[in-house]
């Protein structure tokens, strides 16, 4: 039996623990807070996933567990704070999406500072936690550069209802996963401001072009952005009402102040921290990302939604 440690007991971590259990793995779910870990262990429920009951076989703990496969499911802005404390053995699989605020690094780049030469991968795709927890059909990409690693990991955590496709492009999977959150904020702003479905479709299409430019500039593959971790995830996040990033943009577009939106949330909206970071990383790589730049201006309080939209519409026309 394969052993899997899920590091992070939020909604997504809990959903992945359930999926790994379905796949026949011995699963440990780690929560940073001992009190929270004890509550989940005792009740077999996580308030982040209402109505979901954890099987007794899933061990919930506040002690960092060891396993053959370690799924890292903490927000990207917190990866550095726990990187050194991760289990010393086992393949690390990043299941978070974003760019580090201060360094502009992707998740695997952060981990490589602490675990050079270690086998690592990234899991990404169009997956809402509550649907994965419920066992609804879904698919994802797992990407690694080590020969055969992504295929092996796909066999470990995949099931007929959760199809996992192997990829050798972790750069593309990480860039797409990070940027789609930023584009989703923009898509929400468009709908919240009453600009219509045509405008959202145009924005999402151009957002995909931005994702592709940065992917290629960083050494990834353009084809990746047309797959599950790119277009698939972008479609879900820019339209699904359960998307934290889209719903934040929706509220911004309707005129709700950023501080008020964030004050009412208990979970992380990754696109807020990622927007300025990914724009900075794009500038370093020579990639132009005007939609992401507009969102960065909005979340920093430098642009209103109306001003950002006007600026995008005023950009010079160009060939597609």
Catalytic residue annotation: 180
**Contact (CB, 8 A) for 125 and 139:** yes
**Contact (CB, 8 A) for 83 and 114:** yes
> Other C-beta atoms within 10 Å of 178: how many?
28
Task: Put the strands of the sheet holding 26-30 in their side by side order.
Answer: 59-61, 26-30, 3-7, 69-72, 91-94, 120-124, 138-143, 162-167
Measured between alpha carbons, how far is 72 from 93 in angstroms, rounded to an integer?
6
Measured between alpha carbons, how far is 292 from 177 in angstroms, rounded to an integer?
13
Whole-Å CA distances, 27 to 56, 105, 135, 143, 217:
10, 29, 17, 21, 38
Burial of 294 (0-12, 13-18, 19+ CB in 10 A): buried
> Other C-beta atoms within 10 Å of 280: how many?
17
**Contact (CB, 8 A) for 303 and 295:** no
DSSP string, 33-96: SHHHHHHHHHHSB-TTSTT-B--TTSEEESSPPP-SEEEE-S-HHHHHHHHTTS-SSSEEEE--
């Amino acid at each position: 039996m394969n052993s899997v440690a899920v590091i992070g007991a939020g909604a997504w971590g809990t959903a992945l623990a359930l999926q790994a259990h379905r796949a026949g793995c011995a699963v440990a779910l780690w929560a940073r807070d001992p009190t929270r870990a004890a509550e989940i262990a005792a009740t077999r429920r996580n308030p982040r996933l209402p109505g979901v009951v954890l099987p007794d076989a899933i061990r919930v703990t506040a002690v960092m567990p060891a396993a053959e496969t370690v799924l890292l499911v903490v927000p990207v802005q917190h990866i550095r704070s726990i990187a050194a404390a991760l289990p010393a053995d086992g393949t690390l699989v990043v299941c978070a999406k974003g760019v580090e605020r201060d360094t502009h690094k992707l998740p695997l780049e952060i981990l490589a500072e602490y675990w050079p030469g270690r086998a690592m991968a990234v899991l990404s795709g169009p997956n809402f936690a509550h649907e994965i927890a419920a066992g609804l059909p879904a698919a994802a990409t797992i990407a690694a550069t080590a020969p055969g690693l992504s295929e092996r990991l796909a066999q470990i955590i995949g099931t007929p209802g959760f199809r996992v496709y192997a990829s050798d492009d972790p750069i593309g999977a990480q860039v797409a996963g990070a940027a789609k959150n930023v584009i989703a904020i923009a898509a929400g702003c468009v709908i919240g401001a009453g600009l219509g479905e045509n405008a959202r479709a145009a924005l999402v299409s151009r957002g995909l072009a931005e994702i592709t430019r940065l992917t290629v500039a960083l050494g990834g593959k353009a084809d990746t952005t047309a797959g599950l971790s790119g277009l698939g995830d972008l479609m879900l996040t820019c339209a699904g009402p359960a998307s934290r990033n889209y719903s934040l943009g929706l509220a911004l577009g309707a005129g709700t102040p950023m501080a008020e939106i964030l004050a009412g949330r208990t979970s992380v909206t990754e696109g807020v921290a990622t927007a300025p970071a990914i724009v900075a990383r794009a500038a370093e790589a020579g990639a132009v990302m005007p939609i992401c730049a507009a969102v960065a201006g909005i979340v920093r309080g430098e642009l209103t939604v109306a001003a950002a939209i006007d600026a995008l519409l005023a950009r010079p026309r160009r060939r597609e």
